[in-house]
């Protein structure tokens, strides 16, 4: 069975798992080496984590390496790599300086000809107090986006998101009902929250939307002391984990049978069962 939209029936995908340093040149070279491993393994879509090109933390502040889009060395280098290899590359996210001086947490999808197929600015800001002295204030340094993005690919619609977005089920519902068949969740998920929530949330997004989920995540300790969870995941539309990156640098690869999307949605057609409802504040009073 083939995807009725474009004829593709399978997709070999990889998650690239790294631990970013403040040195963008080092990060790019390590990432390139891992992407080339995926190319040698026949991968068609290689997916990178959030802020793979450089990230530090300073207490509650999140500080990505940032450049204007047209001058970002990671963007140009990976566009060149896509041209050379013919592989599509999801740049989980880069720090991008906007014209007004703010930093955007921006994901890029690069096609196999090196073109920018889609851009997505992270919508939801990680402003949390986790206890144990672990406080994060993403909005102190990052400006949020306000537009959901669905990219067209040879394998069907790809819904873009980044890290903390994972906790907002409505975003993925909108993407799936808009045509997404695969959901991307690049992240630098914290170790504390990852241990509790990473697997279950990614599996839930796959199950409730009948989509494959591809979730590359940073691992290890960042400059500044914050810890990332790792465990990059590839999950099928029934919620089965096809690949788990563990807690070290490397790649994980899975072959996606795209017919499984329609199979899962046919068994449980929840995407067509949404009903409008109202919230009542009525309280029964005992007589």
Q: Which pLDDT tens digit goes with each residue over 26-37?
A: 999 999 999 999
Predicted confidence at residue 6, as pLDDT, reads: 52
Q: Band of the pLDDT at 285, cuts 50, 70, 90?
A: low
Give the list of residues 6+ apart from residue 286 with CB closer than 8 angstroms, or none. Answer: none
Mean pLDDT score, 259-266: 98
Domains of the chain, by residue range, sit at: 10-269
Give the residue from 157, 164, 208, 160 showing the smallest Cα distance to 187. 164
Judge whether 122 and 163 are in contact, CB under 8 Å: yes
Confidence of residue 5 (pLDDT cuts 50, 70, 90): very low
User: How much of the chain, in percent, has pLDDT values that exceed 90?
Assistant: 91
CATH of domain 10-269: 3.60.110.10
SS3 category, 1: coil
* pLDDT of 282: 77
For the chain, helix, strand, coil in percent to 5 are: 30, 35, 40
Helix (H) or strand (E) holding 26: helix 24-40
pLDDT (mean) for 228-251: 98
pTM summary value: 0.95
Does 2 score more than 50 pLDDT? no
Catalytic center residues: 50, 122, 163
Instruction: Categorize the per-residue pLDDT at 151 as very low, low, confident or very high, splitting at 50, 70 and 90.
Output: very high
DSSP line for 189-222: -BHHHIIIIIHHHHHHHHHHHT-EEEE-B-EEEP
Supply the pLDDT for residue 104: 98
């Amino acid at each position: 069975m083939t995807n009725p939209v474009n004829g593709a029936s399978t997709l070999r995908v990889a998650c690239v798992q790294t631990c970013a340093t403040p040195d963008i040149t080092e990060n790019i070279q390590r990432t390139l080496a891992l992407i080339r491993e995926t190319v040698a393994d026949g991968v068609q879509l290689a997916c990178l984590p959030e802020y793979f090109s450089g990230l530090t933390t300073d207490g509650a502040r999140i500080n990505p390496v940032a450049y204007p889009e047209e001058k970002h060395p990671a963007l140009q280098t990976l566009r060149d790599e896509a041209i050379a290899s013919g592989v599509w590359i999801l740049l989980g996210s880069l720090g991008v300086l906007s014209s007004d001086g703010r930093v955007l947490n921006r994901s890029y999808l690069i096609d196999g000809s090196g073109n920018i197929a889609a851009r997505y600015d992270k919508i939801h800001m990680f402003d949390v107090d986790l206890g144990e002295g672990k406080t994060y204030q993403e909005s102190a340094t990052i400006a949020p986006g306000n537009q959901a993005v669905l990219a067209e690919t040879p394998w069907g619609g790809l819904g873009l998101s980044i890290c903390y977005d994972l906790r907002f089920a409505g975003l993925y519902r909108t993407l799936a009902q808009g045509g997404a068949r695969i959901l991307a969740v690049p992240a630098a998920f914290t170790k504390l929250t990852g241990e509790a929530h990473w697997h279950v949330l990614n599996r839930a997004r796959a199950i409730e939307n009948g989509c494959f989920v591809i979730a590359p995540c940073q691992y290890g300790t960042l400059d500044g002391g914050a810890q990332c969870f790792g465990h990059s995941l590839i999950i099928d539309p029934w919620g089965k984990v096809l690949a788990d990156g563990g807690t070290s640098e490397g790649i994980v690869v899975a072959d996606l049978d795209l017919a499984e999307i329609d199979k899962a949605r046919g068994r449980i057609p929840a995407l067509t069962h949404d009903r409008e409802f109202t919230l009542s504040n009525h309280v029964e009073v005992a007589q």
